[in-house]
Amino acid sequence: MILRASHNFFMYPFFKLYTLWKIRRNFHGVHIKGGYMEKDLPLLLVSNHISWWDGFWAMYVNLKLFRRKFYFMMLEEQLRKHMFFNKAGGYSVRKGSRSLIDTLIYTASLLEDKSNLVLLFPQGEFSSLYEAEIRFEKGIEYILKKTSAKVQIIFMVNLIEYFSESKPGLFIYISEYQGQDFDAVSLEAEYNRFYKRCIAENMKLAAGR
């Protein structure tokens, strides 16, 4: 049985404020690059997964741009250790169990509501910041097949650079998926094209310093 998300009247607003405070305290600058067209649709935010910071970065972008009710998937053992997140939009997944299908169906149901944003890490685990490509698991395809509503898919790539600062700068790139194919292979290919463009742009920034 999965742990479904809630948005507690105190915890959820606190999580928003805590996100803004924590990012301002730990990064010397946040740069959001790219854009999307608001279509009044539910949002599936597809991101690389490089650290425990990722959820905070996604919430930051949500507060600045998307302004949707925020949902995110967490490993069940981690969520049970940090139940605060369950009251701020977090819900559980247990990989390799029968409840995994329940989690994917629940995710699809969240995408029926245009006021929602669901954060998804399609590789299903942490990957290195220096990974050449991001590999998608089949979960994203299953979710989109189970969702009857039209969904706007936004790609997000998070990169950090120090340059000459003692604190890192955060570079968040976003782009709307424009393809018509929603299978994992097509989404993976398009995401990796975007991912490589983002890395190339950050390298240009570094070279210009």
Residue 191: left (phi > 0), alpha (psi -120 to 50), or beta? alpha
Quote the CA–CA distance of 42 and 33 in Å, as a whole number. Answer: 21
Average pLDDT, the chain: 92
pLDDT band at 5 (very low <50, low <70, confident <90, very high): very high
- Give me 169's structure tokens: 């700068």
- Selection from 110, 109, 138 nearest residue 122 by Cα: 138
Q: Which H or E run contains 81? A: helix 76-81
- Which distant-in-sequence residues (6+ apart) come within 8 Å of 16 by Cβ? 59, 63
Q: What is the CA radius of gyration of the chain?
A: 17
pLDDT at 128 > cutoff 70: no
The pLDDT of residue 126 is 62
Q: Which H or E run contains 145? A: helix 139-146
- How does DSSP classify residue 87? G
What is the model's pTM?
0.94
pLDDT band at 127 (very low <50, low <70, confident <90, very high): low
- Which distant-in-sequence residues (6+ apart) come within 8 Å of 188 by Cβ? 122, 134, 135, 136
Neighbours of 114 (CB within 10 A): 15
Quote the CA–CA distance of 73 and 119 in Å, as a whole number. Answer: 7
pLDDT band at 185 (very low <50, low <70, confident <90, very high): very high
How does pLDDT run across 77-124, given as a tens digit for each residue?
Answer: 989 999 999 999 999 998 877 889 999 999 999 999 999 999 999 887
pLDDT band at 1 (very low <50, low <70, confident <90, very high): confident
pLDDT at 209 > cutoff 70: no
pLDDT at 9 > cutoff 70: yes
Quote the CA–CA distance of 56 and 38 in Å, as a whole number. Answer: 22
